[in-house]
């Protein structure tokens, strides 16, 4: 979970780089490039009722079920009496196109603690950046139609700060016949930073230590986080941030069967270094989301600045070949189809589906000196 001031965001279509290519007569392979004018999005706070706000809410992950009901998993943030930040996953629904949400009364996971010696004696497992999805293809495959992925990791209190220990973490998963009856957790994906001492817990060894299973492309991934999930008839596609220790990470793509087994690494959507094509100060991407709108698939990501670990809005790219993790590019440069830019200290981690007719893309916001710290906002921006 990150922090930021309130932001005034603006929406532009296509990057400055692409504008310059067209202005300079760059060969684009015969493509017709449409450059849309600057658009100012609606930026309004989203109301979420039925839950004590405390520190706030973050990480919207919307989906729609077979009856047209729109659901969302989200991160609920609070402070325990010990003042360690606790992050848990909850579910909510909307009946007005995303303007207002009602908590569904379900806490999917709990910020439990471990008996550890000082200085790690005050600790809690965090459960954040969740992705809930309804899979319409599951029944034919004999699988559960509801899937939830999230990042679980251990946090410890150091003075007044909550420190995240990602080596004691993994991408967890639950599935179920309904959104309200998700089953037991599976320890799904890990990177090379995973501490094998965690193999002795109740969940055992990770099912997919991706850095060893796919060493040719993922051996330098210390951890995986912020999943995007997109069901298709041939399986479930999962995008993840491959976080590295010393260089910008990358957004990768996996495909699993409908039971979230037989997962394979497809390829890399985009390198973190390519964030500079949006703005030269950006040096990474995070918070991936996979969206399909009227048959066209998109990757939504948040540009980042490593100094201060800052989020910088959201960018959408058209996927031209999902099975090969390819984005639309011009002269090798990824073409941003939509940019929700930043003017504040921190914002991003967006969620979207076309049924969010009133809110458009939902953006996460946070505030250093206000309560609640973490909030969700409409943008009105649509793919």
CATH number at residue 222: 2.115.10
- pLDDT attached to residue 14: 28
> Does 202 map to a domain?
yes
Pick the range with the lowest mean pLDDT from 110-114, 130-134, 135-139: 110-114
> Does 116 map to a domain?
yes
Q: Residue 259: is its pLDDT beyond 80? A: yes
Q: Residue 17: is its pLDDT beyond 50? A: no
H helix or E strand, kind and range, residue 21: helix 16-23
Q: What is the pLDDT of residues 136-167, one digit of tens each?
A: 999 999 999 999 999 999 999 998 888 999 99
> Does 383 map to a domain?
no
> Does 172 map to a domain?
yes
Angle at 243 between CA 239 and CA 248, to 5 degrees: 105
> Does 1 map to a domain?
no
> Does 382 map to a domain?
no
For the stretch 124-160, what's the b/e string if a residue is b when 16 or more beta carbons lie within 10 angstroms of its beta carbon?
bbbbbbbbbbbbeebeebebbbbbbbbbbbbbbbeee
> Does 193 map to a domain?
yes
**How many domains does the chain fold into?**
1
pLDDT level of residue 366 (50, 70, 90 thresholds): confident
Separation between Cα atoms, residue 183 and residue 213, nearest integer Å = 26
Residue entry with tokens 């492309």: 217
Q: Which is more confidently placed, 231 or 32?
A: 231
With pLDDT > 90 as the criterion, what percentage of the chain qualifies? Answer: 80
Q: What is the pLDDT of residues 188-226, one digit of tens each?
A: 999 999 999 999 999 999 999 999 999 999 999 999 999
What number is the average pLDDT over the span 283-307? 96
- pLDDT attached to residue 189: 98
Q: How far is CA 215 from CA 89, 191, 194, 211, in A?
A: 31, 10, 15, 5
Contact partners, residue 212, CB within 8 Å, separation at least 6: 192, 219
What number is the average pLDDT over the span 253-264? 98
- pLDDT attached to residue 3: 37
> Does 212 map to a domain?
yes
**Cβ–Cβ contacts within 10 Å for residue 359, how many?**
29
Phi (first) and psi of residue 196, to 5 degrees: -65, -5
Q: For residue 160, give its domain range.
A: 11-377
CB 347 within 8 A of CB 375: no
């Amino acid at each position: 979970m990150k922090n930021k001031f309130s932001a005034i965001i603006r929406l532009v279509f296509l990057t400055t780089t692409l504008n310059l290519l067209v202005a300079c007569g760059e060969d684009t392979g015969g493509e017709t490039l449409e450059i849309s004018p600057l658009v100012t999005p609606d930026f309004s706070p989203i109301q979420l009722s039925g839950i004590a706000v405390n520190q706030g809410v973050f990480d919207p992950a919307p989906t729609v079920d077979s009856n047209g009901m729109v659901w969302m998993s989200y991160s609920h943030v609070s402070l325990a009496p010990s003042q360690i930040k606790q992050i848990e996953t909850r579910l909510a629904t909307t009946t007005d196109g995303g303007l207002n949400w009602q908590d569904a009364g379900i806490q999917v996971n709990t910020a439990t603690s471990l008996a550890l010696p000082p200085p790690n004696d005050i600790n809690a497992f965090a459960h954040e950046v969740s992705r809930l999805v309804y899979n319409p293809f599951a029944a034919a495959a004999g699988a559960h139609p509801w899937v939830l992925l999230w990042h679980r990791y251990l946090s410890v209190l150091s003075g007044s700060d909550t420190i995240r220990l990602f080596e004691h973490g993994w991408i967890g998963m639950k599935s179920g016949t309904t959104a309200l009856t998700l089953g037991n957790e599976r320890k799904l994906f890990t990177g090379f930073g995973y501490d094998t001492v965690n193999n002795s817990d109740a969940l055992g060894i990770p099912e997919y230590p991706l850095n060893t299973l796919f060493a040719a492309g993922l051996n330098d991934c210390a951890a995986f986080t912020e999943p995007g999930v997109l069901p298709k008839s041939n399986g479930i596609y999962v995008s993840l941030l491959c976080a590295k220790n010393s260089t910008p990470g990358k957004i990768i793509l996996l495909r699993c069967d409908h039971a979230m087994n037989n997962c394979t690494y497809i390829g890399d959507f985009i390198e973190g270094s390519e964030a500079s094509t949006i703005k030269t100060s950006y040096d990474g991407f995070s918070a991936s989301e996979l969206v399909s709108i009227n048959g066209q698939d998109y990757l939504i990501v948040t540009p980042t600045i490593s100094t201060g670990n800052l989020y910088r809005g959201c960018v959408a790219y058209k996927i031209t070949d999902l099975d090969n993790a390819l984005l639309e590019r011009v002269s090798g440069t990824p073409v941003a189809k939509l940019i929700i830019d930043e003017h504040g200290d921190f914002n991003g981690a967006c969620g979207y589906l076309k049924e969010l007719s009133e809110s458009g893309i939902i953006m996460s916001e946070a505030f250093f000196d206000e309560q609640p710290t973490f909030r969700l906002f409409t943008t009105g921006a649509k793919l």
